[in-house]
Amino acid sequence: MIKKTPPSIIALDGPAASGKSTLGRTLADTLGYLFFDTGVMYRAVTWIALQHDLNLSDEAVITELAQKAQIDIQPPSKNDGRACDVIIGGKDVTWDMRNDEVDANVSVVSAYAGVRQALSEQQRRIGLRGRVVMVGRDIGTVVLPEADLKVYLDASAEERAKRRFDEIIARGDPADYEEILRKVIERDRIDSTRAVAPLRPADDAVIIDSDKMNAEQVVARVMELCK
């Protein structure tokens, strides 16, 4: 009997807060693959730009930053829910990069063609080594169009905002559902209407709508696709 090996390059795309990271991490752990969340690179560039008070509307300046930035992504050093450590200039910025200011500006930074080119090239180099679950917005369409399995994980804006709201409340922080929903919709709009590599499913992607599925059901469905 021929034993089928699981797909080596797995591309996982979808809108903000659709559960891609949770799914990607579980898949990578189960298969013994590298998990790579490409969103951290766009966040890191945005974080550096904000730290240095750079003009975020200046595409040339932000592109140069993306080309030169030393973003070090390492295996997680702490068991605090992080998927990896993100180190910039020797400083651990893993959680800092997820603050409101970065959230509000990252879509603008990630719409710049030069920024995307610089970061996509690095992502592609890592992805082509194989045995990887790469998560983002354009992995199946642009970064790794040759991926063996492409999944597009979708959910309604309301459901995604609710999940984000529950996450924040569970951490003990204050949260406003309407405000979160407004931001989710705005990020969707910018990510899916940008000229370069807009958020969309690849033609050969399997689309999973997770509105009425829990995390375990989504993992089970994708593991089924891996067989």
Residues that bind ligand DC (CB under 6 A): 16, 38-39, 42-43, 106-107, 110, 136-138, 187, 191
CB 7 within 8 A of CB 226: yes
- Amino acid sitting at position 105: N
Q: Which is nearer to ligand DC, 3 or 171 (CB)?
A: 171
Closest CB 6 distance from ligand DC, rounded Å: 22
Query: How many CA atoms are closer than 13 Å to the CA of 21, on its beta-carbon side?
Result: 11
Closest CB 139 distance from ligand DC, rounded Å: 6
Kindly give the residue spans of alpha helices, DSSP state H, lying in 13-112.
Answer: 20-31, 39-51, 59-68, 100-109
Q: Which is nearer to ligand DC, 137 or 150 (CB)?
A: 137
CB 151 within 8 A of CB 225: yes
Q: Which is nearer to ligand DC, 97 or 219 (CB)?
A: 97
Sign of CA dihedral 151, 157, 162, 164: positive
Q: Record the tokens describing residue 17, joined without a space.
A: 């807060």
Closest CB 209 distance from ligand DC, rounded Å: 18
CB 91 within 8 A of CB 78: no
Q: Which is nearer to ligand DC, 7 or 160 (CB)?
A: 160
Q: Which is nearer to ligand DC, 6 or 39 (CB)?
A: 39
DSSP E strands, 14-101? 34-37, 71-74, 85-88, 91-92
Closest CB 104 distance from ligand DC, rounded Å: 10
Closest CB 38 distance from ligand DC, rounded Å: 4
